[in-house]
Structure 1
Amino acid sequence: MRKYTSLAVAVLLCITMLMGCSCASPSQRAEKSVQRLTIGFVKSVDEEEILSKSDEIKKLFKSEMIKQGYYVRDVEIEVGSSYEMIGRKLAIGEVDIGFVPGATYVLYEEYCDVILTALRKGLSIESDEPRVWNDNTPTSPTDKTVTYYRALILAGPSVRGQAMAEKVNNGEPLTWEELNMLRWGVMNSTSPAGYLYPSLWLKEKYNKKITNLKYVTELDTYSTAFEGLASESLDVICIYADARRDFEDKWRAEYGRPFNIWDETAVIGVTSGIYNDTVCVSRTTQVMNESLKEAIKNTFINIGNTEEGKEALSFYKHEGYVEADPEDYEPIRAAREVNNLK
């Protein structure tokens, strides 16, 4: 009888211990606690699109950080009004984690560390010849993930834009004088696809830069760029290679164009490869240390490996993350030097 009594007591103790573990709060299950972490996103897409995913991102981040041994009490999501804003906030410690282009990281690398490089889906076209892009539309994604992309100089449906497209498709070279008469839409000077690499393309082809062009408008988002192209207030815009896929539906439904985006636009310039966006952590924020940095790195790698995580970060079209090497961004440092951006 004693044998059975002892067994029963042991079973009850095990159940009690299991119940105690399962009822433990997240902060009790984690080894370390952080009061607050702020994650900053650059506004390369509409702010509302990013903020609509904020609750999902917070939930996934906090849950995965628990597995890394950290209980994060509060996660704040911030969208910068410019590319530099998140970089500046990383520099002064107001943002702990920043999703920023490689050029923004390079600009502020004295104050932040790059921990991850984003993965994107490769594209069906991989060429530096504009006619190849125009002859094989629409561009489609492949199953292969890549760590780089290209920028395109895209002509729109305006009279001058179509004239440039016709010359390219006929195999005729474009002159600097022709390009200089176009109305260009570019992004901020820290944008690799929207400024730096197109300017480098001009330097390589014509020994000129964006700053040498007569008619240039700086835009806040790619949505604004495509809207300007569709309204014919811009002749050409500088974009990332798969941008037309992202704005294909809006081209007719919101921007009111009569035909699809693939028929009304054409590539007139293709840049060299650009290393993908980064995830950076601040060196100046009070809470950051090597242990927390490692936990954040593993958290986003694990989030990016799930379908739920990819959906939460779908506004950037990221397909996951790999550990970054600062040396991978050396070409961007060189592109900044060419553009006299120190």
Structure 2
Amino acid sequence: MKKKVMGSTLVAATALMLAACGDGGDEAFEPTDKLRVQFVPSQNAETLDVIAQPLEDLLSEELDGIEVEVSVSTDYPSVITALGSGSVDVGFLPPSAYVTAKEEGFAEVILQSLRYGVNEEDGTPTDELVEGYKSQFLVRADSDIETLEDVEGKTVAFQGRSSSAGYVWPAASLLDIGIDPETDVNAVERQGHDQAILSLLDESVDVAVTFQDARNTVANDFPDVWETTRVIATTEMIPNDTISVRSDMSEEWQEKLQTAFINIGKSEVGRQIIFDVYSHEGYMESEDSNFDIVRQYEEEIGE
């Protein structure tokens, strides 16, 4: 039996339904009265729901006043399904979720996010904007877990299976040393990398898998998080998150959105907004071939 990254029967079923119900038209989609944008929070969903309003205003301004509706979803399969059904026009998708959406014929990538690199020694940001990042295995400072091999048999907080940093890359790292992430550890799912770290701090899990370095998401409330936790391993580089659009969107509108998001990332106000929403520092144009490495990792964690 092969373990598919998304593991989502819902997405596959939706693909069949949409194929059966499609009108057969080839006309490219262009938003006329409203642009609908959706993302899944990497931190507290209630906080991000409030932050979404400034992004709506800024994006609307960049797009000549068209109404923009930004919504928060609970998981990436829901965003993919919404793109496929046409109820959402733009989705913030991590690499693994984008690849699934592309395979289903639901999405096209237009942008990748930029983030500052992370200092391997202390987790502080560097001054270099990079196109990729790593996942990390985090334990409490007083834990007897020293290496990846020690993770076997422990309780590990993952994100959903569509999360590149929260599942796919760390799962591949464990498989590389002979540890099955489904049977050799007690895997629990958390919604939000901050929630995985909080579970580690309250000792309900032994290991938290997060993007590097997600401790910044809880540092305001737990300023000693750097002293009370430590990183035992990191993964190989992961391509940064995407901004993807529904597959039938016109090339003209894809280019408009590329320009709009890039401009937002270049302005001081805009950069703060996208950082608050998703820890993004800006955007660069992207293409599907940038995610071939993701497809390779999906194969690696299959069996």
Which TM-score band applies after superposition, normalised by the shorter structure? 0.7 to 0.9
What is the aligned partner in structure 2 of residue 319 from structure 1?
A: 281
List per-residue Cα deviations over 1:75-125 (Å, max 9, x = no partner): 111111112211221122111001111111001112110000000011222
Write the distance in 2 (CA, Å) between the matches of 1:301 and 1:220. 28
Write the distance in 2 (CA, Å) between the matches of 1:36 and 1:112. 19
Amino acid of the residue matched to residue 108 of structure 2? D
Q: Which moved more, 1:49-58 or 1:141-150?
A: 49-58
Write the distance in 2 (CA, Å) between the matches of 1:213 and 1:65. 50
Shift of 1:277: 0.4
Q: In structure 2, the residue corresponding to 1:58 is in which secondary structure?
A: helix
Shift of 1:148: 0.3
What is the aligned partner in structure 2 of residue 300 from structure 1?
A: 261
Shift of 1:313: 1.2
Shift of 1:54: 2.1
Q: Which moved more, 1:242-251 or 1:275-284?
A: 242-251
Alignment RMSD (CA, Å): 1.8
What is the aligned partner in structure 2 of residue 92 from structure 1?
A: 85
What is the aligned partner in structure 2 of residue 261 from structure 1?
A: 225
Listed as ranges, the matches of 1:65-104 within 5 Å are 65-66=63-64, 71-72=65-66, 74-104=67-97
What is the aligned partner in structure 2 of residue 164 from structure 1?
A: 145
Q: In structure 2, the residue corresponding to 1:211 is in which secondary structure?
A: coil
Asked if the contact 1:156/1:266 (under 8 Å) is kept, the reply is yes
What is the aligned partner in structure 2 of residue 330 from structure 1?
A: 292
Whether 2:48 is the aligned partner of 1:50: answer yes
What is the aligned partner in structure 2 of residue 340 from structure 1?
A: 302
Write the distance in 2 (CA, Å) between the matches of 1:250 and 1:339. 35
What is the aligned partner in structure 2 of residue 16 from structure 1?
A: none
What is the aligned partner in structure 1 of residue 155 from structure 2?
A: 183
Shift of 1:250: 2.2
Percent of aligned pairs with the same amino acid: 28
Amino acid of the residue matched to residue 302 of structure 2? N
Amino acid of the residue matched to residue 236 of structure 2? S
Asked if the contact 1:80/1:86 (under 8 Å) is kept, the reply is yes
TM-score, structure 2 as length reference? 0.84
Q: Which moved more, 1:191-200 or 1:45-54?
A: 45-54
Amino acid of the residue matched to residue 282 of structure 1? R
Q: When you count helix as a share of all residues, which structure comes out higher?
A: 1
Shift of 1:52: 1.8
Question: 1:199–1:91: structure 2 CA closer, same or farther, 3 Å change rule?
Answer: same
Amino acid of the residue matched to residue 44 of structure 1? S
Amino acid of the residue matched to residue 298 of structure 1? T
List per-residue Cα deviations over 1:30-70 (Å, max 9, x = no partner): xx97211100011222112222222211111111112xxxx
List per-residue Cα deviations over 1:279-315 (Å, max 9, x = no partner): 000025xxx3111111111111111111111111123
Q: What are the ranges of 5 or more consecutive residues in structure 1 without an aligned counterpart? A: 1-31, 126-135, 169-173, 253-259
Asked if the contact 2:133/2:240 (under 8 Å) is kept, the reply is yes
Question: 1:306–1:210: structure 2 CA closer, same or farther, 3 Å change rule?
Answer: same
Write the distance in 2 (CA, Å) between the matches of 1:51 and 1:63. 20
Write the distance in 1 (CA, Å) between the matches of 2:31 and 2:239. 34
Of 37, 42, 52, the residue aligned with 1:39 is 37
Q: Which of the two has higher C-alpha Rg?
A: 1
Aligned length: 271
Whether 2:191 is the aligned partner of 1:220: answer yes
Write the distance in 1 (CA, Å) between the matches of 2:230 and 2:222. 14
Write the distance in 2 (CA, Å) between the matches of 1:123 and 1:277. 16
Amino acid of the residue matched to residue 202 of structure 1? L
